[in-house]
Chain A
Amino acid sequence: MGLLAILLAKTNQGTFLKRIVGKLPFCSVLCALVGLFLLLYLPVDGQFRKTYFSENALLPHQGQTFFRSSDWVVVNGIRDEIRSYEENGMPDFLKVGLTKNIFEQFDVKVYTHDWSHADGSFGGTNIYGIVRATRGTQNEAAVIAAPWTNMEGRFNEGGVAVLLGLARHFTKWTMLHKNLIFVIPSNSEVALRRWVDAYHTTLQHTAGNIEGAIVLDYASSSDKFQHIDIGFEGLNGQLPNLDLVNTAGHSAMSEFVDISILGSHISRAQSYSTRLHTLFRNIYQQAGAGIVNDYPSAMFSGWHIDAITLRAVEGNRNDITAFGRVCESTFRSINNLLEHFHQSFFFYLLLSPVSFVSIAQYLPSAILVAFSFSLMAFYTVFTVEKAAINSLALLKAIFAYSFLVLSFVGFGYFYAVENMELCLLFLATLSIAVIAIVRFGSDAKMMMRIVVSIILGVLLSTLATINFSLALVLGILLLPLAFVGPNMHDKLNSVLLMISNPVVVTTVVGGEAFGLLPGEFIDKMVEGYIELNSWTWLIVCAIYLPAWTAASCICI
């Protein structure tokens, strides 16, 4: 207390505060830089932890795996069969009928689910079979899914064959506790998402709560694969429990199959640069979830389901039944669970298949970036003339900004649902808001600058706790706006506004990160919102667009 009293006394004398305030823009830049540096520092030895199992009941790979020898022959036979459907260019309804028939050969109850796009047009038919657990209460289930085409649109030949082989294999089991649902959606994104939605709303034949899901992706006609790549990022910043990712990794390593995370490096070769690369892969996948390149396991997001994707990478180290055994072993661990996944971490970044950083270690970097906005808000508060700070101007600024945000969100929403009349209406209210802000007096403009900075700081740090990567990326993209204001240099203003311009950002980010043209990039975000219920588009409309518009208006 003594220290605080002295500090207060010193600031009252006036020198201390002035000195600090003068340094605030510098502190703000420093804050953002430290945030980014912290991120780079995470993969350094000693900063991350080795993964471990929190849930004792999982017992990963504690038993002998049985999917081998004659199952290889069966998988081969099934693969020849489904390959012939694809090579003969069979129409979808025939393919569905014949695949259903394969399930029926093993006495698996099989059902279909017709799905449609958000606009109501027919999309396709998903097939799913249910293997009932002999010993169990019939109200818990696990899902094994293999989309007919994988995330790159290639025919998922091995995946579907292994899935059917496993369906046959698990009918022989008498000691299962959880029901098993085998799903073959017609594609890896919307079709699977619709099935998951339907399972929880309208499907008549269900098998209990889904406790975990494994998606198989083996899009090659070869009998051999090099290693397994594990995909786990969900939509809207959701991640499966770290225990599930560990279980899959441990099962694979016990079968002598190498693993990698999100298409990065395999577990055996690790260095600072590979860990950094994997870290950026995590951020890339999480921030870009629901836009493009989603692992199919992301489609289970939002229903309290932990899901991962197992992806076979081409090569010739392991044979196809090893892929099936990894899936078998992972499912058996899920089957062992007495409770829903809850023990381990739900927020983490994986640096390699066996090392991770938890939220407490990585969150500061996004928060520091967000804090640099707050610092600039303080700077503005302390530097404007006392006369400019009046409650009327502040109210004007808050009201105008809320109006702007609402207009953008309304515009974004109705643009997405293709309701053009309401979309135009919100465009009109948007222009009213813009004109109003441009015509503001200098004190209101100053207040607007404070409001924008404070709101950005608060929103970005809140978003960081839910979706770290998106908050970090938005924070970096919006950072120039922290230094834009009517009291700043005109040239600096125009340069900063240019860098953070939506056109520039969509072109650069869409082109560099996803290889998409700006128009396509926006379409994909909108599609993600409409078809997959990913919030990225609305977040962009609610945070990024109003902030940039307000910042540019006050500089005019």
Chain B
Amino acid sequence: MLVFILFQLACALYAENLDIKPLSNNELFSTFNFTMQQAISPIPPIEYSIFPRSLGEILQSTMTSELHIRFGHGVWDSDSWGALPQNGLITGGSGVEIWAFISAADQQHALRQWNQLVNQLSGYFCASMGFADETVVTFPSMQAMAPRGGNMNTILMRASLPAEPVCTENLTPFLKLLPCRNKAGLSTMLSGNRVFASKWQTMSVDVFPFEEELRLEQIVSLVSDVKRNFTDPLPYPELETDLDCDSYRGDGACFPVKKSEVAFNLTTIFGYFERDLCILGDAKIKVDLPVGWTVNNDTKYESILDETIPELEFVSNGKASFDNLPPPFIVDRSFSGYGMQNGGVRVVITNNRPYPINVRYLESWPHFVKLFMHTLSLGGNGTIVNKTYLPSLNKNSAFLELELEIVDSIVLEFEFEKSLLLLEEYPPDANHGFEISPALTILKDGDYVYEDRTPSMLLPLPVPDFSMPYNVVILTSTVMGLAFGTIYNLLVRDVVPLSQVPVHSENLLQKVLKKIK
């Protein structure tokens, strides 16, 4: 039995990587990369060793050849941090994003498989992925998002759920996919309260065929604020002696100056963690140090760990210089327009390269936003090479994919109209507004691919007064009552000219008296 397990493990591969890089302004960028790879026999029953069986079975039952999931929150500050890590290929927009390549006969069949897939994943990752149904899902072109495993004979489907709050309950199932869970190895450094107190954070799960084997890559990237890790999470005022003041100031006045770069170690950033390694694979830590920083008194650090995770002491000489590569382009998207009925969108894409670039811009819009494609205008220096627009039908999302050639910067603008929903279609928090998925921009330049997502947007829709049905019932009843009274009166009464009105008839008392007489 043991031999069999060892044999199984020999056929599988597991590796853990941690990349750390101090950024300017006392921020620290770190990426945890967990890779699992295993040969999967094409004939069932499949033997799973490293690769999580539960996930494997979901993929198997839904004929999914590739699956990509992103959880994200925060905004990447490219001004100070430069280009996105790994060219943005592991980054998600805010909320949850999911795309899959499914083997199916046609779109209808693929949709059925997809619904099954997202509903199972929904429970699996504790996220409302079940809401990624046919009203949200889009079918981007394979030119924009090619399968990593290279299987072109599939149907690509993508959905994003921008309103989904990402938090600890998504991290826990994420860590459970690992062979050592978070009991040993680098994953013990990931605790919910530290990960989600970061300025920017993304988690990704990618499953794809790789060299005849099945590969699972799980990545957590975050930018933490180093200063916050030294203080109470509650923002108590600091002691006067702890303030960093301009030296010219006197008593009772402190002109605050930038906090100098503080020294820290792994424990201050990630909290207390187990130092044992996961015996199932190699673990590697690599530190990318800017000039002026040292780790354990050395200017560079890269090591394959053998027994335990070492403590790393980061110290700066206070004169660190950062040279981050700027991203190839920057996308800004915002609403324009005035009032509740009409609106507009304004997208500015700036090319940071000295030569023209060719990008694809993808976005999807919910059915209650009626886009007017004839209002699409292009300003700045660039052209629209190709335009695909699938309007919303049957409450599906509208999908827009543009191929753009950008010289220096372009401004895309278009208008839309907001429609009223049916009363029961409004969510309980209708006045919150409706989240619009992040737009995805992809640059492909030979083998170089760079992806960037804008933040999601919040669209306020006209919301009816929900007590209105009650008021309407009351008003209608009143009007009906009045009308009924009038008509009833007209129907029942005799209309007689005044002159013909019979002269004063006897009243009841007189009648009774008459009878008695």
Q: Give residues in A with beta carbon < 8 Å to B.
A: 1, 5, 9, 66-71, 73-74, 76-81, 104-107, 109, 132, 134-140, 168-170, 172-175, 200-206, 208-209, 302-304, 338-340, 342
Contacts and interface: CB of A to CB of B under 8 A. Distances in A.
A80 B249 contact: yes
Interface residues of B, number: 64
Contacts of B494: none
A339 B463 CA distance: 12
B199 A132 contact: yes
B104 interface: no
Interface stretch (B239-247, B369-377, B380-388): B239-247
A200 B338 CA distance: 8
Contacts of A1: 485-486, 489
Contacts of B429: 338-339
B458 A139 contact: yes
Nearest to B24: A107
Interface stretch (B106-114, B252-260, B417-425): B252-260
Contact of A71 (B79, B197, B237, B430): B237
Given A77-B245, A139-B94, A340-B432, 11 more contacts: A70-B238, A77-B256, A80-B253, A105-B256, A107-B25, A107-B259, A132-B74, A132-B199, A137-B455, A139-B455, A139-B457
Given A134-B197, A340-B432, A140 B253 contact: no
A445 to B, nearest CB: 39
A66 B198 CA distance: 21
B236 interface: yes
Contact of A208 (B196, B340, B455, B489): B455
A172 B199 CA distance: 12
Contacts of B234: 66
B456 interface: yes
A73 B433 contact: no
B235 A77 contact: no
Contacts of A68: 237
Contact of A76 (B165, B253, B460): B253
Interface stretch (B209-217, B305-313, B328-336, B470-478): B328-336
Contacts of B245: 77
Nearest to B238: A70
B352 interface: no
Contacts of A339: 429-432
A76 B228 CA distance: 24
Interface in B303-355: 332, 334-338, 340, 346, 348
A224 B25 CA distance: 34
Contact of A340 (B25, B259, B433): B433
Nearest to A203: B334
A107 B26 contact: yes
B265 to A, nearest CB: 20
Nearest to B193: A174
Contacts of B238: 70
Interface string B491-510: 00000001000000000000
Contacts of B239: 70
B95 interface: yes
B256 A168 contact: yes
A106 B25 CA distance: 9
Contacts of A109: 77, 79
B235 A138 contact: no
B74 A340 contact: no
A5 B498 CA distance: 12
B95 A137 contact: yes
Contacts of A76: 252-254
A70 B253 contact: no
B233 interface: yes
Contact of A73 (B254, B430, B457, B458): B254
A303 B338 contact: yes
A173 B245 CA distance: 21
A106 B455 contact: no
Nearest to A69: B237
Given A132-B75, A204-B348, A66 B237 contact: yes
Contacts of B408: none
B73 interface: yes
B484 to A, nearest CB: 11
B73 to A, nearest CB: 7
Could you say which of B198, B237, B257 has the most chain A C-beta atoms within 10 Å of its C-beta?
B237
A79 B240 CA distance: 17
A132 B73 CA distance: 11
Nearest to B94: A137
Nearest to B196: A135
Given A74-B243, A139-B456, A81 B255 contact: yes
